[in-house]
Amino acid sequence: MINHFTFNGHSTAEYGLLVTALNPYNAPSRRVEKVQIPYRNGDLFIDTGTYNNIIVSYEISLINNTKENAEAIRNWLLSSYGYHQLSDTIDTDTFRMACYYQDVQYTLTALYKYGKTTISFDCYPQRYLFANYPFDLTATTNDDETPKLDARTIRSAYNGEPIITALTTGSIYFNGGTIVVTDAPVVINSQTMQCYYGTTNMNSDVEIYDFPMIKEGINEIGSTMDITILPNYWEL
């Protein structure tokens, strides 16, 4: 089997590239603070409960149309800004959010007809599951026309950074936290910790203390308005 990776909507297969080595199963390091206490031997480590970014590298070989493909590859990788989806044919169940900012250097052989290089992406520590299915909570009213809570319990085998789309105003209750939406529609994105709709910043239209997170185990979710939740499940 010939392996490929896909970044920002384009695959190495489009550019005559072969992936000859990769490290898709590496795990990120925990983010800890190292503290030295006077008059005490050793160091104290404070665990922040978070993880550092991870470098994911692919060794690739360029096997045809070296000059033309090399230029196309540079444009593909270096014209992108910020994080984009990265997936490969080794682990087909998950993808990463990755950015590319390094140079591209080839080692040429065989009269400049073949080349090889290493492509390294700076990635979020999480691997997101492709198997993410949205679910809805629907606004209804009581007999006196007051909003009625639509609540449900979700048992999850994974952690998640949900993306919530609120179509009307109201309140969301998520694992003991409350979110109040004063203008809609709005997207509440726990991955980027931003509220927006399209290109409009709507952080001031959402009263939120902590962005909601799906935890492994039992999750209690309720809403007095129409919302769609994409769980955005992930694993390390």
Q: Where in the chain is the domain with CATH 2.40.30.200?
A: 5-129
How far CA 220 is from CA of 173, 205, 211, in Å, comes to: 8, 24, 15
Residue 146: predicted pLDDT:
58
CATH number of 135-235: 2.60.120
Write out the chain's pLDDT in tens, 236 residues. 678 899 999 998 888 788 887 776 778 888 888 888 888 888 888 888 889 999 999 888 877 656 777 778 888 888 878 899 999 988 889 999 999 988 777 776 655 567 778 889 999 999 999 988 888 888 766 665 555 667 778 888 889 999 999 988 888 999 989 999 999 999 999 988 999 999 999 999 999 988 999 998 999 998 888 889 999 999 88
Beta bridge partners of residue 234, listed in sequence order: 128, 159
Please name the residues in contact with 83: beta carbons below 8 A apart, sequence gap of 6 or more: 97, 98, 99, 124
Place of tokens 């360029």: 62
- For 5-129, the fitting CATH number among 2.40.30.200, 2.40.280.10, 3.30.70.260, 3.40.50.300 is 2.40.30.200
Which residue from 18, 2, 3, 1 is spatially nearest to 73, judged by alpha carbons? Answer: 18
Q: To 10 degrees, the CA torsion angle through 181, 138, 161, 49? A: 80
Beta bridge partners of residue 159, listed in sequence order: 234
Interatomic CA distance for residues 58 and 24, integer angstroms: 9
Q: Where in the chain is the domain with CATH 2.60.120?
A: 135-235
Residue 122: predicted pLDDT:
94
Which residue from 207, 218, 212, 210 is spatially nearest to 230, judged by alpha carbons? Answer: 212
